[in-house]
Structure 1
Amino acid sequence: MIVETPSFAGLAGVARRDITPPPGIRARNWGPATWDVAAGVHRPLTLSALALAAAGEEGAPAAGERPLVLIEADLGWWRGVDSEWALRSALLEALDLPPERLLFALSHTHAGPSTDLGDADLDGGGEIAGYRGRLLAAATEAAREAIGALRPATIEWATGRCALAAERELLREGRALVGFNPAGAADDTLLIGRIAAADERRTPLGTLVNYACHPTTLAWQCRLISPDWPGAMRATVEAATGAPCLFLQGASGDLAPREQYVGDVEVADRHGRAVAHAVLAALETLPPPGSALELSGVQESGAPLALWEAVPHAGSRALAAERREVELAFRELPTLAQLAAEWAGIDPQSRDERLRRARALRDGYVEGPTVRHPIWLWRIGDALLAAHPGEAFQWLQRTLRAELPERPLLVANLVNGPGFVYLPTQAAYDRGAYAAWQTPLAAGSLERLHAAMKEGLEAVGNVEKEIAR
């Protein structure tokens, strides 16, 4: 009897770059902020690249196969379709990759810089163009380095739990608020991939963490550039493992820390350490890299004792990637003039920020009655990954994991596209939640996204690209 750990056996490479912007860059992400430019740095912002490939002869990539490249960066969200595509298209060309084989995922920190050239005429906006150039260079260099570092490796998957995330949809005195709901239920699932070289020492190459929780600890009171809680999470995990930690933001549209909207960076660090310790606890449950547990015998004692030991295990070599689209309908949107009139009673800073976001929604995204919403579906050995550009509610990952329980399933928001589009539940539309009146998408979009992802994941999960051992 052998119990196999869900795993991938192939080639992997990891690289990192610092993408901390200059302190004077525009970093105003909150309506109540009375400032526009960052005054300093709490923790560095990072960009990490993970390259994966099927192994051919003598440990080289399989002939004719392009690698899969996952890039994760400490950035908030792309504020326009053209703004995101300009960078990703240049990256695809530089790496010579087809669109389905590159994922550019954002951590969604709300204490990061603006990357939108539409802000160039605002205070601090003069730094944006130069920063975008450095960002593209960093992503290209990290991806190339990760591809160049491809070596025989394994990824083993573990599931943990962390209580940092809480439901952030609170109905109070007839008003839908965005904040901790003590009566709400939050998905506490952590999915962790341990990446180790297939050498004699099983050298650690990295850790991949997928968790759903908004990085909104730090808000308008904090003038420092910060990765928010993912920064301390990475630092704590890396100190223990000796290898880079990569983060994928999950379906966190309605999830955030209980304590948030503060200026104290120690609160963000405390949140990050909470996630990190949960990650490290889950990693300790895994057997040694490249192994499974085998029932090796029975020892007679006061009871017959089942003896299990770690034995070598090759792992799945399957690797696949697809890009699909799902058609989503728009709801009837008010005009910008109507919104300005509706928000006339709130403070000017908050009103201007709301109007800028509403204008971004209508620029390049809302161009007809429907939109083709892209999704990316990967298979990494025994694991599956589903990614999309928007902000889906936690229902998406809860439902997909319940329906596809046989494989570890990573679900990622804010990947390869503008991240300003919420996909709320029907209940959120019914109560008039912020995410429902902010999004241009009609009710039912989350459910259609789920159906498309499930169909795609089932197809990718059945694709076998095993290479003869």
Structure 2
Amino acid sequence: MKASIAAPILSLITTLAAAGEAASTFRAGVATRDVTPSAPVPLWGYASRRDAPSEGVRDPLLARAIVLEAGGSKLAVVALDLGRGPTPAMMAAIREALAPRGFAGVMICGSHTHHGPVIELTDEPDRGRGKFDAAVAYARELPAKIAATVAEADDRLEPASIRAAGKDVPMNRNRHSKRDPKSTDPRLTVIRVDRADGSPLALLVNFAAHPVMRPADDLTFSADFPGAMRAAIEGRLNAPALFLQGAGGDMSPNPPPDVRGPDEFGRALGMEALALAEAAATAEPVAPTIAVTTESHDFGTRLDLANPLNRLIYGRIFFPELVENLAAEFAGGMRPETTTALLGDSIGLVGLPGEPFHGHATRLRDRADLPHALVLGCCNGHFLYFPTIDAAAEGGYGADPRMAPIALGAGERMLDRALVALYRMRGRFPGEE
């Protein structure tokens, strides 16, 4: 096993709309598409299901995109009712489809619902072909659906303003640590996007909690509590809501005493988000500039999936075809990509392709010198868990090599690079060559 981090291979792509004159206003557009599979396919998330096929739809799975533009620089953020972000091959297809539109960056984020479809299966022997053809077909069609949703949002751009507000709400708990007191990240942040007339165009909601409130033996598709949260917001605000998972690797829902189940929890969280949306309506508007940095990394692993014994163990925990695809993706190490976006000089978004532990988000906020610094989990990929170093030392599910095979300290390294990007995009390193 490799225990050290390989030196990052940095392919740094930075687009600065803030470099010249600030635009007079943002422009924004929103679009939604149903991405619920039409045929039974294996469900993502709970290992106990193995490859059991889905059994109908409890509530639809959506892809919702918002495109933000300022000064000719465009950022797309997509909220997906899926367990993870798109695979590297899917991300390449999405970027290729959107290339003529000139996006500075795309952040495609799974909510991490455990009632969405497996999307990793491919049209290869022992990786899905023949046994899981419906899932393979779904995965093949998904990138085009996501790209089409982004394109539709891009076609709907209109003048907009952006404001944000955040507060701590005690609606999540630390499911991992045995240390007392158990630390959490209770920060709920909303980003309000308004039309020129002041009416709401969209609300982005960032909160860290696993959407695992429906039981594993429920084999229906569901957005879990984020779907109920959206419905609560949209019923009052009359505008679409996007749930953006935070650093929820070790965070589970913590319902108030009088709240039961995912629907009630989602509504309760939605009410908190609506209160913040009202507060944000009178906040200082974000300066209309967009800057984006996309960075690639190369890390070693704590667990060798090329080892047949490890693959056999993983295959028994999940199912062999899924493990074969993961082993191929992680062959020779892990190469995650991070995307960091800066809106004006007040909102930082850091997309991580996996399940970061909450400590990464709280430390980013402490260090970023921004009113709002948000971690978006399950963004543009999924390299399993990113525990903090101290959580990995404590061990346990999500922090051990089986579920966190990426090299120790990888999460810290990615967040350090994102922090550098956030400062660099604000011109905080004068005299750099």
Superposed CA deviations along residues 345-366 of structure 1, whole A, max 9, x for unmatched, are: xxxxx82417666544431323
Match among 42, 45, 49 for residue 58 of structure 2: 42
Aligned residues: 394
Contact kept? 1:211, 1:248, Cα under 8 Å = yes
Q: Structure 1 residues 387 and 34 mapped into 2: Cα distance closer, same or farther (>3 Å)?
A: closer
Contact kept? 1:26, 1:127, Cα under 8 Å = no
Q: Structure 1 residues 284 and 34 mapped into 2: Cα distance closer, same or farther (>3 Å)?
A: same
Q: In the alignment, what sits opposite 1:296? A: none
SS of residue paired to 2:340: strand
**Are residue 267 (structure 1) and residue 261 (structure 2) matched?**
yes
Superposed CA deviations along residues 426-452 of structure 1, whole A, max 9, x for unmatched, are: 233223322222222222222212211
Match among 73, 95, 98 for residue 95 of structure 1: 98
Q: Which amino acid aligns with 2:49?
A: A
Q: In the alignment, what sits opposite 2:340? A: 377
Contact kept? 1:336, 1:355, Cα under 8 Å = no
Contact kept? 2:84, 2:379, Cα under 8 Å = no
SS of residue paired to 2:47: coil
Q: Which amino acid aligns with 1:198?
A: A
Q: Distance in 1 between matches of 2:94 and 2:338?
A: 18
The within-5 A match list for 1:137-286 is 137-171=144-178, 183-199=181-197, 202-258=198-254, 267-286=261-280
**TM superposition shift of 1:157:** 0.2
Match among 385, 391, 395 for residue 359 of structure 2: 395
Match among 270, 286, 292 for residue 321 of structure 1: 292
Q: Which moved more, 1:448-457 or 1:232-241?
A: 448-457
Q: Distance in 1 between matches of 2:406 and 2:90?
A: 25
Q: Which amino acid aligns with 1:318?
A: T
Q: Which amino acid aligns with 1:375?
A: T
Q: In the alignment, what sits opposite 1:127? A: 134
Q: Which amino acid aligns with 2:336?
A: H
Superposed CA deviations along residues 141-196 of structure 1, whole A, max 9, x for unmatched, are: 2212211111110111010333221101154xxxxxxxxx9852211101101111
Q: Distance in 1 between matches of 2:130 and 2:393?
A: 37
Q: Structure 1 residues 411 and 122 mapped into 2: Cα distance closer, same or farther (>3 Å)?
A: farther
Q: In the alignment, what sits opposite 2:370? A: 406
Superposed CA deviations along residues 23-53 of structure 1, whole A, max 9, x for unmatched, are: 5222264232377111111111111111111
Q: Distance in 2 between matches of 1:88 and 1:406?
A: 29
**TM superposition shift of 1:462:** 3.1
The within-5 A match list for 1:301-380 is 315-331=286-302, 333=304, 336-339=307-310, 351-353=316-318, 359-368=324-333, 371-380=334-343
Q: Distance in 1 between matches of 2:57 and 2:303?
A: 41
Q: Which amino acid aligns with 2:427?
A: N
Superposed CA deviations along residues 442-467 of structure 1, whole A, max 9, x for unmatched, are: 2222221221121111112338xxxx
Q: Distance in 2 between matches of 1:31 and 1:122?
A: 22
Contact kept? 2:28, 2:160, Cα under 8 Å = yes
SS of residue paired to 1:209: strand
Contact kept? 1:388, 1:415, Cα under 8 Å = yes
**TM superposition shift of 1:222:** 0.7
Q: Which amino acid aligns with 1:49?
A: A
**TM superposition shift of 1:237:** 0.6
Q: Structure 1 residues 271 and 356 mapped into 2: Cα distance closer, same or farther (>3 Å)?
A: farther
Contact kept? 2:74, 2:102, Cα under 8 Å = no
Q: Distance in 2 between matches of 1:232 and 1:285?
A: 22
Contact kept? 2:51, 2:318, Cα under 8 Å = no
Superposed CA deviations along residues 77-97 of structure 1, whole A, max 9, x for unmatched, are: 25xxxx723322222222225
SS of residue paired to 1:415: coil
Q: In the alignment, what sits opposite 1:74? A: 81
**TM superposition shift of 1:420:** 3.6
Q: Which amino acid aligns with 2:149?
A: A
Q: TM-score, normalised by structure 2?
A: 0.82
Contact kept? 1:45, 1:226, Cα under 8 Å = yes
**TM superposition shift of 1:19:** 1.2
Q: Distance in 2 between matches of 1:52 and 1:107?
A: 20
Contact kept? 1:17, 1:47, Cα under 8 Å = yes
Q: Which amino acid aligns with 1:26?
A: P
Superposed CA deviations along residues 311-369 of structure 1, whole A, max 9, x for unmatched, are: xxx641221111123443322537644347878xxxxxx8241766654443132315x
Q: Which amino acid aligns with 1:223?
A: L
Q: TM-score, normalised by structure 1?
A: 0.77
Larger radius of gyration: 1
Q: Structure 1 residues 423 and 355 mapped into 2: Cα distance closer, same or farther (>3 Å)?
A: farther
Q: Structure 1 residues 106 and 122 mapped into 2: Cα distance closer, same or farther (>3 Å)?
A: farther
RMSD: 2.8
**Are residue 15 (structure 1) and residue 31 (structure 2) matched?**
yes
Superposed CA deviations along residues 266-285 of structure 1, whole A, max 9, x for unmatched, are: 71112211211110111222
Q: Distance in 2 between matches of 1:352 and 1:33?
A: 9
Q: Which amino acid aligns with 1:365?
A: F
Q: Which amino acid aligns with 2:223?
A: P
Of Structure 1 and Structure 2, the greater strand share is in 1
Gaps of 5+ in 1: 1-7, 55-61, 172-180, 260-265, 293-313, 344-349, 464-469
Superposed CA deviations along residues 357-400 of structure 1, whole A, max 9, x for unmatched, are: 654443132315xx443211111123111112122111111001
Q: Distance in 1 between matches of 2:312 and 2:79?
A: 39
Q: Distance in 2 between matches of 1:316 and 1:50?
A: 18
Q: In the alignment, what sits opposite 1:432? A: 395
Contact kept? 1:28, 1:36, Cα under 8 Å = no
Q: Which moved more, 1:227-236 or 1:374-383?
A: 374-383
SS of residue paired to 1:105: strand
Q: Which amino acid aligns with 2:339?
A: W
Q: Distance in 2 between matches of 1:252 and 1:330?
A: 22
Q: Distance in 2 between matches of 1:354 and 1:166?
A: 30
